[in-house]
Amino acid sequence: MKPSWIIVFCVALLLTAGFAHPLDAAPQDAPAPADETERARDAEAAEGVEQKRKIRNGLYVEVGYGSADSDPLDTSTRTSVGQTSGNSLSFSDMDYGRAAIGWQGQKGNYRLVWQGFTETGYEFTSVGRESSLGQMLGNPPIVQNLDWWQINVIDGAMTAVQSPPIWDPSDDANMDGAVQRNEVRYPSVSISNTMNIEPNLQNRVHTADVMYGRVFGPRRVEGSWFGGMRYFAYEGTLLQGAWLRAPSTGSGYTDGALIRFLHPTQKATGVGPTAALGFNVNLFDKRVQMFLNGQFGFLISQIETDTGRFFTVTTSSASDMEIITAPARLTADRSRTSWHTHLDGGFRFNVKKGLILEVAYYVDGYLDSVLTPTELRVPKTSQEIGAGTSAIFATQDIVIEGWRGSVGFQF
């Protein structure tokens, strides 16, 4: 019984295989020949697959250029409770450059990306406030520091105006017997000075990223991730207005002429890991792409600053009319961690095979990259000159935004 069932099973299996796979020689089962249109379509598809394979594996190069400006840096200083300086410095015009080279393969993308910003113009404003009046009746308390100096600099063209505040009891709006900033008046004639100073402060920011990443997601909406290392370098010079003399009715302020501004030079370098995440919306078979990219880095940085040589002003103990200058110089350095952030979005055009055009708006943040003196301790009398001048320093963020265009080619 068992051998017969085996024979029956084998015969059934052979018959099933015969029906499932008919002989090629049978004329009724022979495939119909493809026509010329189908052959041309198959050849074109094969060529497209081959072209995509070539594009996916090859050298990638990119160059870009753009313009930018920075958010204002707050370089304000305080010499005493009654002497403050409100400073704002912004790089109103910067050149942006970008270069990238890498390899795109089936298993991922490798990139070396360099970016740089160079200052081509700046704007600086400084307001010197002091707890004193140029003219008053009696000795009323002054509850707010009053404006004495107004300084504006645009690309090296400086205007400095000294205007002493005036107050009398008739100006006491709230009848509290104290002087407030909104109650003082200023004379119609002020002391002004116009001159040219440094037209360019030579501020430059550079980054270099070595990264590896991959693309993921469906055809219409793609994502990408990258990870690697970043090197960062910044150097340049800032401007600061400050009181360099103990309270003395408006004198001793850095007016840019008789008493120069503080010029703290800056140098910062850092290295650390960086990562990026991006999304593309593909249109017209990837000929047009809308993209949004974000990147952050965590760096160990070394920051140095040096004001160079300047002088403070004081008076002789024998006579308040005898002016004495004291040499000074402030330096500091810090080792610390800092964050970098980047966000850009725009359009990418694949105009020809391998040729890529991009236009994008971007915002870059280099946090804790600037070190400036924020509180000064200057000699108040000639006896204190030996103690020197010292300061408390604080870090500032550099935030840059602008537009860029780039041209890339995938070999």
Helix, strand, or coil here: 44? helix
DSSP secondary structure of 277-310: EEEEEEETTTTEEEEEEEEEEEEEEEEEEEEEEE
**Between β-strands 157-162 and 265-283, what pairing exists: parallel, antiparallel or unpaired?**
unpaired
Whose CA is closest to 408, among 65, 125, 132? Answer: 65
AA identity, residue 16: T
Angstrom distances, CA of residue 251 to CA of 75, 144, 375 = 21, 18, 18
Instruction: For residue range 349-394, list pLDDT tens digits in order.
Output: 998 888 999 999 999 999 999 999 999 999 988 888 888 999 999 9
Share above pLDDT 70 across residues of the chain, in percent, rounded to a whole number = 84
pLDDT at position 219 is 80
Number of domains into which the chain is organized:
1
102, part of any domain:
yes
30, part of any domain:
no
275, part of any domain:
yes
42, part of any domain:
no
Q: Quick one: tokens of 303?
A: 């920051």
pLDDT at position 21 is 41
Give the whole-angstrom CA distance, residue 301 versus residue 334. 8
Average pLDDT, the chain: 86
Domain range for 153 is 68-410
38, part of any domain:
no
DSSP 48: H
Instruction: For residue range 108-140, list pLDDT tens digits in order.
Output: 899 999 999 999 999 999 999 999 888 766 678
CATH of the domain at 266: 2.40.128
405, part of any domain:
yes
Instruction: For residue range 191-220, list pLDDT tens digits in order.
Output: 888 999 999 999 999 999 999 999 998 888
Whose CA is closest to 263, among 305, 234, 304? Answer: 305
Taking 50 as the pLDDT cut, the residues of the chain under it are 1-30, 32, 34, 49, 51-55
Please list the residues that pair with 162 across neighbouring strands: 149, 191
| Nearest 10 degrees: Cα torsion 264, 206, 405, 217 | -130
Q: Residue 322: how many CA atoms within 13 Å on its side-chain side?
A: 6
193, part of any domain:
yes
pLDDT at position 43 is 56
168, part of any domain:
yes
